[in-house]
Structures are given as C-alpha cells and as structure tokens.
A and B are shown apart, each in its own frame.
Chain A
Amino acid sequence: MSLRLPLLCATAVLALLAACTPGTGGGGEGDGKSFEFWSFSAINQKLTVDAYQAKHPDIQIKLTEVGTSTETAQSLTTALAGGKVPDLVLIQGDNLPQFVEQPQNFVDLRTLGADDIKGDYLDWVWEQSVAKGGEVLGVPTDVGGMAVAYRTDLFAAAGLPTDREAVSALWPTWDAFIETGKRYKAATGKAFTDNAATSVFYQAVNQVSEKYYSADRKLVYSTNPQVKAAFDLGIKAATAGITAGQSSFESAWSAGMAQGTYAAVSAPSWMLNSIRSTAPDTKGKWDIAKIPGASGNWGGSYLAIPKRAKNPQAAWNYIKEMQSPQGQLEHFSRVGALPSTPSVYQDAKLTDAKDPFFSDAPTGTIYTDSLLGLKPFYIGPDSAAIGQEFLNAITNVEQSGGDPATAWDDAVRNIKTAIGE
C-alpha cells in the first residue's frame, strides 16, 4: 500500500492536469452572436460598447475591464499560455511588440479582410502590428500625439505669457523649454515641471526617426546619437533644479498636480483624461501648448483577436464598424482619444473640438498637427524594457542623488543585464 498510494495520487494529479490542458483547436465554434472583450479600465471603452449594442441589439458583448494596460497585457499572456481567451482584446502600443513576436497566438486579420481597410489608417501605426511573416495582428484604435499641458494661473504669476500661441513660442526646442523652466523657478522658487524622466526624456525620445532599434530591427540604443541626445536633455532637466521630482502617476504626483506644485506636464492626448480625473478642481486653469521640437507620438492601442477565440467573426464585425474612420471620429467625440485614421483629421467634428477643462484648447488640431510629418521608427520586443532603464537612470539622478556623469553608462549596463544581451 505504501507504494501504491503515491502512485494513485500521481495518477489523480495527472488526470486532473490532462483535464486542465487547454485545447489547441482553432476556435471559432461560438454562436456568432456574442463575444467577450478585454479592455483597460479608465479609458471609457464601455461608452463605445454601449453605442455598438444600441445599433446591434442581437449581439451580446461581455466587456471586462481587466486593469491597467500592463495588467491587461499580463492577463492576456497568461490566457494565451493556457487559459480561457477573450474573443477581442485591446493591447497598448508599448505591449504590442512581445505579441507581434509570437503571431501564432492570434488570428491573422488578413483572413478576415484586413487588407481591405488597411488604407484607412496611418501607415506607420498599422505597420507596428504586422509580424515578420506579414500577418496582421491588430487594428489601431487611436494614437497618442504629444503636447505640453500648463497652468495659465501659475504662468501668469511667474510673469510668463499665458496664451497658448505665445507659450508655444517660448519653447521651439527642448533647451528653450529648460530655459523657460529656469525663468519660472527664478520668479516663483517653485518647480516648473513634474519630472525630467517622463516630461522631458520620454517625450524627446519619441520624436526621433530611429529609437532603440534600427529600421532593420537591430538594437542600436547605445550607439544611436538621437537617443543619447534625448537622454542628455533628460539629465540636463534633472540637474537644472526645475523639476518637482515626482514620478508620474504616483500619489505625490497626483497631490502635486492638484496643489500646483508644478506648472507644466507632458501631455500625450491620453494624459488629458488623467489630468481631468487627478485634479478635477483645477478645471479651466490649464491650457495646452505645442511640444518642443518637432512632431512625435507616444501611445496608442490595438484591437486583436486571439487564435482560440470562440467568436472571431463577431469580434471582427465590431472592429470593422467601430474602428472605421467614422467610428473613431465618434469615439473621439465621446472620450477624446485621437483617431488613427487620417481621413477624419480635417473633419469639423475634430477640428472644432474644444476642451473646456483646458481653457477651450482645440485638442483635435493640436494633437493631429503633432502627428503630421512624423518619422516612424521600429518598436521592438525589448523597447519597453530599454525605455524603463533609461527612465530609471534619469530618476536616479533626479531623486536619489545619482551621479549625472555616469548615468548614461549605468543605464546602458543595466539595459544589457535586463535584456540579456
């Protein structure tokens, strides 16, 4: 008995495991009338789902707001590795490369007709979801675009102009932005911007023509002079004493935003919603100016259909309708996410849009202007990890007394460890 019992247990465990092993079927055996949709929380995807269901009462959508964009990607990875997958999932741009590297997990959207709608989208945004073999894994829902949000009342108190044209003219370059920060600091004694890592480096490094990878997908982060220049700008801002040293989205950052601890903050289009909800009492005190330097993009998301989805066709119908140029324009009116379909950039619904929270700034034109003339760069599987280490190195100088002289070498060394190069 003493020998047989463990054997018995082992058999039981194996039997249970066999029962849990995911099927490897191709999916598609669903009813076609319903589908399950995983999205991030706090981006109001529910409004769009409700709009779709109002038009199609026979379709049932089960929307799950998984968490932050990173948490959603983590849950998706776990689900793809052997759990129950949704029929439709929203993937944030930074998380996309790791999935594009493994296209076998997703439905190639060309089989559903992606080639027919390809022309509607910004080509460089579309390209980011195309795998090596040409498989199309996702349809872009929105893009970021970049700008700077600033407090008009605090600018006025510091003797700086408050009009958005005049403010944009203050900083044609990032060096001018830092100089403006010094003027503000000299006049008020307070911090000019929230931090150097995201508000300067992350913005500047997204304005390059080639980032951490070259166009032929080789790692160039340590040799690319454009990355080094953006990093140096970040260090310069960190050591100029013009930042509040508050990492984005931390509680002190939120408190500082409400209390006016800093007067300017980097604002990709999706950040506007964050400012609104973080500091609702500051309504009307903000305005939006152009980003220093040229155009650039930070952010954006994609809709994808996992291979084992039960109702891929129902999910595709939703993508086709809601991500059409008109669908994205309506989504912009509802929640302010910038369309990835350039044909609507001249539409009055977009150009006339004004945001009362930001002193009636014409958000539609400000952000679409930042996208035109953009030079796209390849985003690779380790781009997010590399960016994080650069951010950390600048934050270390800014907040923990790190040595600015060795920051670049430290960052490169940490990246090598992190990505196992």
Chain B
Amino acid sequence: MSTVTATLTPAPSAALPPPAEPKARGLGERLAPYAYVAPFFVIFGVFGLFPFAFTFYVALFDWNPIGDQVFIGADNFTRMFADPRFWNAAGNTVSIWALSTVPQLLLALVLAHVLNHARLRFALFFRMSVLVPYITSVAATAIVFAQLFDRDYGLLNWLLGLVGIEPIDFVQSTWGSHLLIATMVTWRWFGYTTLLYLASLQAVPRSVFEAAAIDGAGPWQRFRHITVPSLRPVIIFTVVTSTIGGLQIFTEPLLIASGAPLTCGAVRQCQTLTLFLYEQGFGQFEFGYGSAIGVALFAMVVVIAAINYVLSTRIKADR
C-alpha cells in the first residue's frame, strides 16, 4: 500500500506551489475502492470461503442432513484412512490421471511442434480444429465414447472382432474402464494443452529454428533441443494443472457406468475420489464423511500446488 502511494504521489517541487492537500476527502471517496472490490469478495465469501470453511466444520460431525448432527471429532478421518474404498478411489484416481496426462502432454508437445512449423499450410484451420474437443460438452463426449467402447455393440470391439479378438468389456474391467476414461480425458484436453504450448513456442524467434536447420539439425533434434527446453515452464504448468484436474475427475466415470453410476461399476473399478465423495455425501447422505473426503482432497491439491511453486522457482533460478 505504501509503495503504491509513494510512486503515485508526485514529489513536491520548489518551482510550483505545493499542490493543495485534497480537502477532507469524503468518507465515500475513501470507501469507494473497497466498494468496487467488494462484490468479488462478498461473492467469494458466500460461495467460496464459507462453503470451504463449513466443509472443515462438517467433517468433524456425524451429520445427518435431515436429522441429528453429532460431534465426533476426528472419527471421520480415522474411518477414512481405514476405509479400503477410500484407498481404492485414490488408486483409481492416480491410475486414470497417469493414463491420461502422459499421452495427453506428449501428444500436445508433438502437435504444437508441428503446428508451429513455418511451412504448414492452413495453419489457422488446424490450430482451431484441435480446440474443438475442448468445447464439446463432457456429457456428450462420455455418451459417444461409452458407445464406441461398448462390449456388444461398440465400434472398437467390432474392429477387434474383425481380427479375431474376443470382445473386451471395457466398463466392467478395471484397466479397461481406466483406459476408457483416460481416453476421454486425453481427447478432451489435448487441444487445449496444444494451444498453450503453441502460444509459448510462438515466443521463440523463428530465426532460432532456421539457424538450427541451416546448421544441419534434423526435425527430431530441433524438437529435442529447441522446442522442449523452451517449453519447460509451461510443461510444468500443464503437468500441475492437469494433476489438479485429474484429482477432481468426476463426470466421465459417473456417466460411463450408467447402471451403478455412483460407484462406477460393481466393484468400484473406476470410482474416483470425487465420485466417492459424491457417493458418500449425496448418495448415502453421510455429509460428515463426505466432507472429510473433501478435506483430504483439498490437502492433496495444496501439496501439488506447493510442488508447483518449488519447481517453478527452481526453473527461474536455473536461467
């Protein structure tokens, strides 16, 4: 606050008469800036901060929304750490995240490199096209992919059948359902990531690529020694954002196992943490336990954000 005032207030000059002190600034004028920022903070307080703080509070109770609320301290957390369903959901979340993030970022990296190529025709068309999956509704995506991967009527199993492979039940098997969800996530997000990389690549002077080409560097060498290093900060950024996004994956697993949506299948084979939270909170109405899962999820996101902070400061220091 003080530094800002210091730079904005002109230094008194001897040649000019000192500017008249603003006469008794009205209360309204002093409050005006706060009034301008107030809407955000009020809305944030009501819809962000309060529910957030309330979640921590509810997590300490055996909270029946239409009955009694009994204070039980940390019992929900002890129960959660001993609950195999929680660890199952955590494992599924990590597995789906790994299956979707790695191919997604690699694909985006290669695509961004190609789209940045100087001699690419209709570049704008291709650049816009990769964004189409991103603007498609996730529900529509899930319906289409669930049909493509269907055991009896799916296109994929039909193709596999042509080469004599038995139909695979993607939704009912653990690895199959993870693969199916990861494919959906990858398909939906790779365009967005590509554009992020592309934007960052555009800041690299074209002459660098040209000089490398003249020096005899092939496409692979240019990719390895120019594209990837210049994208390092944005790669870290996308790894972290997709990790946070991966922790919160919800709609895809909810929609693919339509018969048992809240558990994502008979043996919770694709139930993610958010889906487990939702099942406990809004399927079983165990608000306290659901809140405890929410708090655990929050802690994980904080840890990942901290890792992000450490990594990005390190990268700056390297340069």
Contact = CB atoms under 8 A, between A and B. Distances in A.
Contacts of B153: 252, 255
Interface string B35-78: 00010011001100110000000000000111100000000000
B79 interface: yes
Contact of A247 (B45, B64, B260): B260
Contacts of A255: 152-153
Nearest to B263: A392
A251 B152 contact: no
Interface stretch (A73-81, A272-280, A340-348): A73-81
Q: Is the interface of A mostly helix, strand, loop or mixed?
A: helix
Contacts of A101: 67
B: contact size bracket? 35 or more
Given A13-B46, A250-B258, A400 B172 contact: yes
Contacts, number: 90
A395 B266 CA distance: 6
A248 interface: yes
A10 B41 CA distance: 10
A152 interface: no
Contact of B258 (A9, A10, A245, A249): A249
A99 interface: yes
Interface stretch (B20-28, B143-151, B187-195, B199-207): B143-151
B267 interface: yes
A102 B34 contact: no
Contacts of B266: 247, 391-393, 395-396, 399-400
B45 A420 contact: no
A9 B150 contact: no
B67 A102 contact: yes
Contacts of B151: 252
Given A399-B266, A400-B173, A402-B267, A78 B46 contact: no
B259 A77 contact: no
Contacts of B146: 251
Nearest to B269: A400
A101 to B, nearest CB: 7
Contacts of A13: 42, 45-46, 49-50
In this complex, the member of B45, B259, B267 whose beta carbon has the largest number of chain A beta carbons within 10 angstroms is B259
A261 interface: yes
Contacts of A12: 42, 45
B134 interface: no
Given A396-B266, A399-B172, A251 B66 contact: no
Contacts of A400: 169, 172-174, 265-267, 269
B282 interface: yes
Contacts of A250: 257-259
Interface in A384-421: 385, 388, 391-393, 395-396, 399-402, 417-418, 420
Contact of A80 (B38, B65, B147, B265): B65
In this complex, the member of B146, B153, B267, B269 whose beta carbon has the largest number of chain A beta carbons within 10 angstroms is B267
B50 A102 contact: no
Contacts of B285: 77, 98
Given A13-B42, A252-B151, A417 B85 contact: yes
B12 to A, nearest CB: 26
A253 interface: yes
Contacts of B84: 417
A249 B266 CA distance: 14
Contacts of A391: 266
A419 B153 CA distance: 37
Contact of B259 (A10, A249, A385): A249
Contact of B260 (A99, A392, A418): A392
B85 A80 contact: no
B83 interface: yes
A252 B152 contact: yes
B251 interface: no
Nearest to A256: B152
A18 interface: no
Contacts of A401: 173
Given A249-B258, A396-B266, A400-B172, A77 B42 contact: no
Contacts of A105: 66
A191 to B, nearest CB: 10
A400 B65 CA distance: 35
A16 interface: yes
Nearest to B49: A13
A5 interface: yes
B284 to A, nearest CB: 7
A396 B66 CA distance: 34
B258 A77 contact: no
B276 to A, nearest CB: 12
B282 A74 contact: yes
Interface string B241-262: 0000000000000000111100
A359 B172 CA distance: 35
Interface string A233-253: 000000000000111111111
Interface string A69-89: 000001001101100000000
B83 A247 contact: no
Given A98-B285, A385-B284, A9 B66 contact: no
10 contacts: A1-B34, A9-B45, A17-B50, A77-B285, A80-B65, A385-B284, A392-B260, A392-B263, A393-B266, A396-B267
Given A1-B34, A105-B66, A418-B85, 14 more contacts: A5-B34, A12-B45, A13-B49, A78-B65, A98-B285, A250-B257, A252-B150, A252-B152, A255-B152, A396-B266, A396-B267, A400-B267, A401-B173, A417-B85
Closest 7 CB pairs of A and B: A247-B259, A395-B266, A81-B65, A392-B266, A250-B259, A399-B172, A102-B67
